């Protein structure tokens, strides 16, 4: 009987982590865009920064989702999209973008494609590392059973 509340608690915790990471990744993505708009150095180093962001995005997934809810990071992308759009609209209203919306639109398109790749690759990397961890743990357990049983 006590297992049901624990299950609900761990489910809601995993879901909160998904929503939190989605919002955090949307904040990082929009910060990346506006940093690039105001600094040409960010544009020049955008691929290196994107690779670093892939690693940064995968770390919380590796740490938080190594349990029965290993598939929950797939939902991060679903929540990341509306958070990213809402934050982009809010930041567009608050931060000045100058008089040339054409340049900002091209930069937005480039960074939107880059951000989608970064988020999907970061989620995929985190889930792949967790999958490798599960497989290696099972292999070690199987090897332990084989040596002790025979």
User: For residues 114 and 108, what is the distance between their CA atoms, to the nearest angstrom?
Assistant: 10
pLDDT digits (tens, 9 = 90+) for 113-149: 999 999 999 999 999 999 999 889 888 888 887 776 5
Burial classification of residue 126, based on how many CB atoms lie within 10 Å of its CB (0-12 exposed, 13-18 middle, 19 or more buried) = buried
Judged against a pLDDT cut of 60, whether residue 150 lies above it is answered with no
Specify the number of domains making up the chain.
1
Write down the pLDDT at residue 149.
Answer: 59
Rounded to two decimals, the pTM is 0.84
Inter-residue contact 79 to 18 (CB < 8 Å): yes
Residues 6 or more apart whose CB falls under 8 angstroms from that of 18 comprise: 72, 73, 75, 76, 79
Q: Do 118 and 46 contact (CB within 8 A), yes or no? A: no
Domain housing 66: 3-149
The pLDDT tens digits for 17-66 are: 999 999 999 999 999 988 888 888 998 999 999 999 999 999 999 999 88
């Amino acid at each position: 009987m006590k297992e049901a509340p624990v299950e609900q608690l761990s489910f809601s915790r995993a879901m909160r982590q998904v929503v939190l990471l989605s919002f955090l990744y949307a904040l990082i993505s929009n910060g990346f865009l506006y940093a690039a708009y105001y600094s040409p150095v960010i544009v020049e180093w955008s691929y290196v920064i994107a690779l670093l962001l892939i690693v940064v995005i995968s770390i919380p997934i590796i740490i938080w989702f190594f349990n029965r809810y290993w598939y929950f990071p797939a939902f991060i992308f679903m929540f990341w999209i509306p958070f990213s759009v809402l934050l982009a609209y809010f930041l567009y209203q608050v931060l000045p973008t100058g008089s040339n919306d054409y340049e900002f639109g091209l930069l937005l398109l480039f960074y939107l494609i880059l951000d989608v790749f970064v988020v999907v690759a970061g989620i995929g990397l985190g889930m792949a590392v967790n999958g490798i961890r599960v497989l290696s743990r099972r292999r070690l357990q199987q090897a332990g059973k084989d040596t002790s049983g025979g």
